[in-house]
Amino acid sequence: MRIKKITRTVWILSLISLFTDMASEMLYPIMPIYLKTIGFSIVLIGVLEGFAEALAGLSKGYFGKLSDSSGKRVPFVQIGYALSALSKPMMAVFSFPLWIFIARTIDRFGKGIRTGARDAILSDEATAETKGKIFGFHRSMDTLGAVLGPALALMYLYFYPQDYKTLFYLAFIPGVLAVGASRFLKDKTKSYSTEKKHIPFFSFLNYWKKSSAQYRKLVIGLLLFTLFNSSDIFLLLKAKQAGLSDTAVIGVYIFYNLVYALCAFPLGIFADKIGLKKMFVFGLSLFAMVYFGMAFSTSFYAIASLFFIYGVYAAATEGISKAWISTISDRKDTATAIGTYSGFQSICTMLASTLAGVIWYQFGANATFIVTGIATLGIIVYFSFQSFR
């Protein structure tokens, strides 16, 4: 692994993502608990998260299109990360549900603004032969933040139990570091012309109509998978149902993120050698294995092993999917292509979690995991028989 070929821009973006994910994941384990202590019901929490994620998803497509049309990347990255950092202390300062709703929306809106432009920068920093490596390195650094964040939160709460508000202020620190690091980014001169005109919010949907058949085939397959790839919360709930303590559940979640962080970079390099499609299908195979396994596992060691495999799956697919999209998209449309996919993906993710919840409620946890495993096998067949350049 030759890290020396990672450019300065990729390092900066990766450190920004590390700090931001550290801030977000510090709050992930305690967010539902905190919201309940200030009067949020379970239903209201669900509405809050659903709306915030939907807004983030739709805005990814719009701001991706806006970035491509303006020919600029860095302002979108800087504003997006700044909004996410600002939302952290807002969650502690304002304890009324409406203000919490606004703060959480600002956080997700920030993600929508930055995602397409950030991934376009990563794509521009890579060659056709290093897409997996660059996106894999970024995912490794990003996910390292998801290891450090919960670990720091658990350590703080061990010494100061239930002091949730202070954690929101502490999460502002890595958020500020991310914003500071973003000041070192510079836009590079684009070699293609840009169109300067008003961009309607849903104009990115037009990209689907004019995109290549290769892009549509790939995104259809990715979205089919997303429809059955429900929230990780269901895996954590199954672990809890199998008898793991709260500490053990959070522990396996941190373990999963650690495996993900350690594997994303080397698997990205390997993907460049064997092909992005082969690596992605390999990841899907691991995913199916995990879901079939979770349906029948009850011991701590079995579940921990499955979370290890799940970390390898994430490393083999998350960054790879965006690298793959960037290879079959025109360079001037990279942010729009990734943003459009990310927008549809957010909506499909909501539908997937709803579907999983309904199956769990009607037929039990095991049925949820078996259905997902079977659907994934079908998606593996789809990708196996599709040809991509």
**What is the predicted pLDDT for the residue at 41?**
65
Task: Indicate whether 226 belongs to any domain.
Answer: yes
Structurally, the chain folds into a number of domains equal to 1
To the nearest 10 degrees (0 to 180), the angle between helices 233-241 and 246-274 is 130
Q: Could you report the per-residue pLDDT of 177-214, keeping only the tens digit for each?
A: 999 999 999 887 554 444 556 677 776 677 888 888 89
3-state secondary structure (DSSP) of residue 106: helix
CATH number of the domain residue 116 falls in: 1.20.1250.20
Positions in the chain short of pLDDT 50: 1-2, 191-194
**What is the predicted pLDDT for the residue at 264?**
93
Q: Closest by alpha carbon to 13, among 140, 146, 151?
A: 140
For residue 85, give the H/E element and its range: helix 74-93
Q: Are 90 and 106 in contact (CB under 8 A)?
A: yes
Amino acid at 232: D
**What is the predicted pLDDT for the residue at 58?**
78
Q: Are 239 and 361 in contact (CB under 8 A)?
A: no
Q: What Å distances lie between residue 35 and 30, 101, 152, 232, CA to CA?
A: 9, 10, 20, 20
Task: Indicate whether 67 belongs to any domain.
Answer: yes
143 vs 338: CA distance, rounded Å: 20
**Structural domain span for residue 237:** 7-184+204-384
203 vs 64: CA distance, rounded Å: 10
181 vs 57: CA distance, rounded Å: 25
Q: Could you report the per-residue pLDDT of 272-331, keeping only the tens digit for each?
A: 999 999 999 999 999 999 999 998 888 889 999 999 999 999 999 988 998 999 888 888
**What is the predicted pLDDT for the residue at 45?**
64
**What is the predicted pLDDT for the residue at 54?**
73
Task: Indicate whether 64 belongs to any domain.
Answer: yes
Show the tokens assigned to 321.
Answer: 């999917």
**What is the predicted pLDDT for the residue at 283?**
96
Q: What Å distances lie between residue 92 and 66, 142, 148, 163, 275, CA to CA?
A: 32, 25, 21, 11, 46
Task: Indicate whether 199 belongs to any domain.
Answer: no
Task: Indicate whether 86 belongs to any domain.
Answer: yes
106 vs 356: CA distance, rounded Å: 28
Q: Are 230 and 369 in contact (CB under 8 A)?
A: no
Task: Indicate whether 121 belongs to any domain.
Answer: yes
Task: Indicate whether 88 belongs to any domain.
Answer: yes
**What is the predicted pLDDT for the residue at 33?**
67
Task: Indicate whether 295 belongs to any domain.
Answer: yes
pTM here?
0.83
